Amino acid sequence: MSLFDEAEKARNPFGTRMETASKTTKVSYINQTSVFLRVLAEVVESRKLPAAKAKEVESYRTRLGDCHWGLHLLQGKVSEDGWPRIVSSAIDGMLKTIKNSQPNGTWEILDHDVKIEKNEHNIEQLFFVVKFVDIENAPELAYQNGVPVTTTVNVTNSPIPEEVIEALSSKNTDDSELKDMIRQLVGALAANATSQVAVQAEPPKPVEAAEPEPVVFSD
């Protein structure tokens, strides 16, 4: 061994070991857009409602979630193992947003769409849209200034029996003033048979979800 070899080994005693390890643990990065699209579709299909169930609930209430990535940040920088996790994290983030405002339903993937096109800065982007459906078709929660609005409920308050109203209406009397009083009483009783009560909806509890896995791109 020459002095140059000894000097190199002294500077980096783990060099040979690290070089061998790097050869055995080679990471494969994705470059082709077709691979990105194929893997994305596979992830969605694995979480999507079966066709029969999707047909059954397609008229139920839905929500859209979307995101996008710059292709220059993906190609050659995201591994084959990492891309499925990125897509799943994006879907989880969309679901978290929906459940925070509409927690009274059970949301599942109904459909999705994807496209690649340039944005306003002429940079190619991968756009991803997911349609979620509430398989329970629960009532829509409405908000005003961040607070659930009151819901109006019709409540029947001991309606007056029809025979009583009919008897009062047909009461014969020569007193015109008494007739007017009876007529007014019958009208008031009939009008007040049903009243409205405002019920304050309870604010939905925030849905806790795991934070998306951070993605680190190499230079």
134 and 161 in one domain? no
pLDDT, one tens digit per residue, over 60-87 is: 999 999 999 999 999 999 999 999 999 9
Does residue 195 carry a pLDDT above 50?
no
Same domain, 98 and 39: yes
The pairing of beta strand 124-134 with beta strand 107-118? antiparallel
- Is the pLDDT reported for residue 97 higher than 50? yes
Q: Is residue 40's pLDDT more than 80?
A: yes
What is the rounded average pLDDT for all residues in the chain?
79
C-alpha separations of 190 from 127, 158, 163, 193 in Å: 60, 11, 12, 5
Same domain, 41 and 123: yes
| Per-residue pLDDT at 208 | 59
Q: How far apart are CA 197 and CA 6, in angstroms?
A: 90
Q: Decide if 66 is inside a domain.
A: yes
Question: What's the domain range around 185?
Answer: 144-199
Residue 183 pLDDT: 72
Instruction: Examine the domain organization and report whether 121 and 155 are in the same domain.
Output: no
Q: Is residue 153 included in any domain, yes or no?
A: yes
- φ/ψ of 20, rounded to 5, equals -65, -40
> Where does a domain end: 123, 139, 155?
139
Which of 70, 157, 58, 158 lies closest to 108 in space, CA to CA? 58
> Residues 130, 109: contact at Cβ < 8 Å?
yes
More reliable by pLDDT, 208 or 137: 137
Residue 96 has pLDDT above 80, yes or no: yes
Spatial contact of 212 and 94, defined as CB atoms under 8 Å apart: no
Is the pLDDT at 192 greater than 50? The verdict is yes
Q: According to the model, what pLDDT value does residue 193 have? A: 53
Same domain assignment for residues 62 and 91: yes
Structural domain contains residue 20: no
Mean pLDDT of 160-186: 65
Q: What is the pTM of this model?
A: 0.60
Q: Are residues 98 and 170 in the same domain?
A: no
Length of the chain: 219
In the numeric block, which tokens belong to residue 168?
A: 């009062």
Note the pLDDT tens digit of each residue in 6-37. 776 666 554 555 455 455 568 899 999 999 99
Structural domains in the chain (count): 2
Note whether 128 and 40 are within 8 A (CB): yes
| Model pLDDT, residue 32 | 96
Both 43 and 124 in a single domain?
A: yes
Q: Which of 69-83, 153-167, 185-199 has the largest mean confidence? A: 69-83
Give the pLDDT of residue 204: 56
Query: In the numeric block, which tokens belong to residue 148?
Result: 């659930």
Confidence of residue 159 (pLDDT cuts 50, 70, 90): low
pLDDT at position 202: 56
How far apart CA 45 and CA 114 sit, in angstroms, is: 13
Q: Which of 39, 35, 134, 32 lies closest to 88 in space, CA to CA?
A: 39
* Domain co-membership, 42 together with 119: yes
CB 69 within 8 A of CB 125: yes
The whole-number pLDDT of residue 49 equals 97
Strand partners, 148: 143
pLDDT score of 63: 97
